[in-house]
Amino acid sequence: MLQIGYLVSGGIITNYKCSSRCRHCCYSSSPQWPNDYMTPSMADEIFRILKGLGCRSVHIGGGEPLLRPDKILAVLEVAKKNGVHIEYIETNASWYKDEASTHAILKDLKRCGVHTLLISIDPYHNEHIPFWKVKALMAACSKAGIEVFPWLMDFWPDIEAMDDSKPHSLDEYVQLFGRDYLLRLAKRYGLNLKGRALKTYRPMMKKQPFEQVLRQSRPCRLLSGVYHFHVDLYGNFVPQSCPGLSIPLKELVRGADPGRYRVFYALETEGVKGLVELAMKEYGFEPQAEYAGDCDLCYDIRNYLVLERGLDLPDLKPEGHYRYV
C-alpha cells in the first residue's frame, strides 16, 4: 500500500492559474490554466486530514494565490476554523494596483490570521512583473503590519540595476551580466529542475546515454517529504519537488492501491527504471538515445503518456502540468 502516517509541514496550492509564466516555474503555472480555485468544502476536508496527521501549520502557494482575494479568504476562514496556522502566503505582487486597494486586501488577510507574505524577488519573475510593484507591495505590508519574507534578497541588486517601471527579459539580464548568467541564476536560486524549469534548462544540460541513466536509477521515495509536501485544490497530495504526480490525500491516509497508481508506485519503489519498464511494456514507449538525467527521462515518459497517448492516468494529475508547460 502507498500510505502516509504523519505529515509535519507543507503547502496548500489553492490554484495553478497564475498571472505570470515564469521560465523557472516547476509547477508550469500560467494564465492558460482554467479558473479553478480551492473550494471551502475541499479546504475543510484537507485541513481536517492534515490535522489528523499531525500537521498544524501550512503555507499557501500557487499559481498566484492572490489572483482572486475572495477565493483565498474563504480558504483562510476554513483554516482558522480547523485550527491550522498559516505560516505565510507566497505571492508575485502582480495584483498590486494602488495603495488603497492593496491595504484593503492586506487588512482582510490579517483578519483571517495571515501575518506574513513571501514576496518573490528574482529575475525570472521580473520577466513578467515590474519591480515597482514588488517594492510597493513591500511598503504596503510594512504599513499594514504584515511581515515580508523576501525570496530572495540576493537578487535585489541585479533587478535594481534595471528600470523598475517595466518588466525585463532574461536576455536583458544576460546582456548586462554575461553569457553564463542563466546558469549562474539557476545555481543561486537552487532551482528545482522540473516542469517548465526543466524545459528552460534542458538544452543547456549535459546529456547521457539512456542506458547509463537507467543504471543510475534509484527509488524516488515520493512519500518521504513530510516537511515540504503540497496538497492541491483537487485534494491531491503532490510529492515534495515532483509536481505532475499525485494521489488523493484521503486515499493516502487509508492506504492507496499500488495497482491503481502504477506510475507513482514504480517511481516510489524503483525510480525511473521501474517507470521505463512499465511504459515500454504496457504503453509502447520508445526511449530516445540520450537524456539529461533521470528526471528528463521521467518527464519524457510522462509527457508521452499524457500528451501523446492521451491517457487519463490517476497519478499523472493535473493534466495541465503537462499541457501548459
CA-based torsion, 206, 25, 136, 57: positive or negative: negative
CB 132 → ligand SF4: shortest distance, Å? 17
Nearest to ligand SF4 of 143, 218 (CB atom): 218
Interhelix angle for 131-144 vs 99-111, to 10°? 50
The DSSP-derived string for 16-72 is: SB-S---TT-TT--BTTS-S----HHHHHHHHHHHHHTT--EEEEESS-GGGSHHHH
Interhelix angle for 272-283 vs 262-269, to 10°? 140
Question: Does the bond joining 176 to the residue before it have cis omega, within 30 degrees of 0?
Answer: no
CA-based torsion, 252, 255, 256, 262: positive or negative: positive
Nearest to ligand SF4 of 235, 243 (CB atom): 243
Cβ neighbourhood burial of 210 (10 Å; 0-12, 13-18, 19+): middle
Chain residues binding ligand SF4 by CB under 6 A are 18, 20-22, 25, 27, 29, 62-64, 92, 125, 194, 220, 242, 267, 272, 294-295, 298
Whether the CB-CB separation of 48 and 78 falls below 8 Å is answered with no
Nearest to ligand SF4 of 49, 276 (CB atom): 276
DSSP-derived letter for residue 77 is: H
Nearest to ligand SF4 of 49, 240 (CB atom): 240
Distance CA 47, CA 234 (A): 13
CB 294 → ligand SF4: shortest distance, Å? 4
Instruction: Return all residues near 319 (Cβ < 8 A) that are at least 6 apart.
Output: 306
CB 181 → ligand SF4: shortest distance, Å? 18
CA-based torsion, 293, 299, 305, 309: positive or negative: negative
CB 33 → ligand SF4: shortest distance, Å? 10
CB 266 → ligand SF4: shortest distance, Å? 9
Nearest to ligand SF4 of 49, 230 (CB atom): 230
CB 275 → ligand SF4: shortest distance, Å? 7
Nearest to ligand SF4 of 146, 321 (CB atom): 321
Nearest to ligand SF4 of 108, 270 (CB atom): 270
CB 173 → ligand SF4: shortest distance, Å? 16
